[in-house]
């Protein structure tokens, strides 16, 4: 395999948005009389936000309203790069690799995060929530990214923190890396059987150094 690109998930994988997400989710769901406990949130977490709504018993007629409230309450200034994220991205860029992100965030979400994170320094291509008719774990978002990057499934490694990330990659026979994050328990991630699994981005950095140097 000649590695030509690395495709990442965003929330929980490259950036730590857990605090912002759980605080906002608790606040919004409380308006509808639903208590969100962190253990249940992690147990039911999905990159598909509508699955989260459904898993916590939010009636479908309120989903659109919750989407609007999310924009009102979410504090984008709380989103931070995970430790070593910028270093590993810079390292990969130094080898001329293409870097992409497949995320459940919307384009407007990213526009709100750019002033704090400036991901354009590293990321070449994006697939946002609205870019794919089907969400993870369906392979469609990753297929669209491969087309944008003009790469095949054998040219890349995909990295994510949720089972849906891993299942999406495996469905296209992509090499997958799982990384622990607050959103998902290590057990849930391991059950998805990624090719490799690491505790943090520092371990992923050393993985790529061993691979490329």
**C-alpha–C-alpha distance, residues 180 and 187, integer Å:** 10
Q: Residue 189 maps to which CATH number? A: 3.40.50.1000
Q: Which of 34, 55, 77 is the last residue of a domain?
A: 77
* pTM for the model: 0.96
User: pLDDT tens-digit profile of 162-212?
Assistant: 999 999 999 999 999 999 999 999 999 999 999 999 999 999 999 999 999
**C-alpha–C-alpha distance, residues 102 and 145, integer Å:** 7
Q: Are residues 172 and 207 in the same domain?
A: yes
Which residues neighbour 210 within 8 Å (Cβ) at sequence distance 6 or greater?
none
User: pLDDT tens-digit profile of 92-137?
Assistant: 999 999 999 999 999 999 999 999 999 999 999 999 999 999 999 9
Q: Are residues 67 and 86 in the same domain?
A: no
Q: Are residues 91 and 71 in the same domain?
A: no
Give the CA distances from residue 28 to residues 70, 109, 112, 136, 182, in Å, rounded to whole numbers and listed in that order: 7, 17, 19, 24, 20
Q: Are residues 148 and 160 in the same domain?
A: yes
Coil vs helix vs strand at 7: strand
Please give the residue range of the domain that contains residue 89: 5-17+79-212
Look at the chain and report how many structural domains it folds into.
2
Q: Are residues 170 and 66 in the same domain?
A: no
């Amino acid at each position: 395999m000649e590695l030509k690109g690395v495709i990442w998930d965003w929330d929980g994988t490259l950036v730590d948005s857990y605090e912002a997400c759980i605080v906002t989710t608790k606040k919004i769901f409380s308006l509808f009389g639903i208590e969100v406990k962190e253990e249940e949130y992690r147990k039911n977490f999905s990159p598909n936000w509508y699955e989260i709504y459904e898993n916590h018993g939010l009636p479908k007629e309120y989903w659109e309203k919750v989407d609007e409230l999310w924009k009102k309450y979410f504090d984008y200034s709380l989103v931070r790069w995970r430790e070593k994220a910028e270093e590993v991205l810079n390292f990969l860029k130094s080898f001329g690799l293409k870097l992409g992100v497949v995320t459940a965030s919307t384009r407007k979400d990213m526009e709100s995060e750019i002033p704090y994170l400036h991901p354009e320094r590293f990321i070449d291509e994006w697939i946002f929530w609205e870019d794919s008719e089907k969400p993870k774990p369906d392979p469609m978002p990753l297929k669209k990214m491969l087309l944008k990057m003009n790469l095949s499934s054998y040219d890349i490694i995909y990295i994510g923190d949720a089972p849906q990330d891993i299942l999406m990659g495996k469905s296209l026979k992509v090499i997958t890396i799982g990384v622990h994050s607050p959103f998902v328990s290590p057990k849930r991630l391991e059950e998805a059987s990624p090719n490799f699994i690491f505790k943090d981005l520092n371990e992923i950095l050393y993985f790529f150094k061993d691979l490329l140097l």
